[in-house]
Amino acid sequence: MLNIVIFGAPGSGKGTQSERVVEKFGLNHISTGDVLRAEMKKDTGLGQTAKKYIDQGQLIPDELMIDILAGVLDSFEASKGVIFDGFPRTVAQADELKKMLAARGQEVSVMLDLDVPEEELIERLIKRGQISGRADDNEETIKKRLLVYNTQTSPLIQWYKNEGKYVHIKGCGELEEITEQIVNAITAVKNN
Ligand code: ATP
Ligand code: MG
């Protein structure tokens, strides 16, 4: 079983790149951001709660996020593995993911860190906001999200280095070249 964590700051291209490799490797894709946006669109209780945090550029509380993730994982049909896009975002979430997978006799295969300079992230997110109309893609909220990333999420780089799972991906440049680095990294762990 492949368990791929695709990691990176907001706007680093986690969603775009995940979509490009799920089919190739026969993986299930879980994007926590997409799950939350679907709940917001349906205006469920969960969606209303999520909206309060997302509009402020904050993370959804760990306990809630972990419950959601566990639910989605349980709903998956058998596959060759899972690509985790947007989870974990805190050390507590990484600890929990490790436990959840261990309970299934599995582990994270590799963590792919999509590294993009901050100026480019801001540029991409502002552009995306103009097209997608995502309420959190405005300059003020983008700045908050980057701060949250730098304080709460980026410690996971060292966390996964300690686990021996970390792979750096140069996340700027041609889309195709980025995908190629990701495909190579997944192929390497797959053949292990
Ligand atoms: P990308 O553009 O690389 O796909 P992103 O940061 O723009 O990344 P999403 O991953 O879609 O966007 O997340 C959107 C928002 O959903 C986050 O800013 C956060 O508030 C919430 N969220 C998503 N995943 C988590 C998580 N694991 N823990 C807490 N909050 C989360
Ligand atoms: Mg996304």
86 pocket-lining for ligand 1 (C-beta < 6 Å) = yes
Q: Give me ligand 2 centre to Cα 184, in Å.
A: 22
Q: Identify the pLDDT of residue 191.
A: 82
Q: Identify the pLDDT of residue 192.
A: 76
Q: Give me ligand 2 centre to Cα 85, in Å.
A: 7
Q: Identify the pLDDT of residue 184.
A: 98
Q: Identify the pLDDT of residue 79.
A: 84
Annotated catalytic residue within 14, 37, 124, 165: 14
Ligand 1 atom 11 nearest Cα: 33
59 pocket-lining for ligand 1 (C-beta < 6 Å) = yes
Q: Identify the pLDDT of residue 168.
A: 98
Q: Identify the pLDDT of residue 84.
A: 98
Q: Which residues of 65-87 are buried (b: 16+ CB within 10 A; e: fewer)?
A: bbebbeebbeeeeeeebbbbbbb
Under-70 pLDDT residues of the chain: none
32 pocket-lining for ligand 1 (C-beta < 6 Å) = yes
Known active-site residue 124: no
Known active-site residue 98: no
| Closest approach atom of ligand 1 to CA 137 | 7
* pTM score, whole prediction: 0.95
| Closest approach atom of ligand 1 to CA 124 | 2
| Closest approach atom of ligand 1 to CA 88 | 27
Per CATH, domain 2-190 is 3.40.50.300: yes
Q: Which ligand is nearest to the CA of 7?
A: 1
Known active-site residue 20: no
Ligand 1 atom 9 nearest Cα: 33
Do residues 8 and 14 lie in contact, with contact meaning Cβ atoms separated by under 8 Å?
Answer: yes
SS (H, E, C) the chain: CEEEEEEECCCCCHHHHHHHHHHHHCCEEEEHHHHHHHHHHHCCHHHHHHHHHHCCCCCCCHHHHHHHHHHHHHHCCCCCEEEEECCCCCHHHHHHHHHHHHHCCCCCCEEEEEECCHHHHHHHHHHHHHHHCCCCCCHHHHHHHHHHHHHHHCHHHHHHHHCCCEEEEECCCCHHHHHHHHHHHHHHHHCC
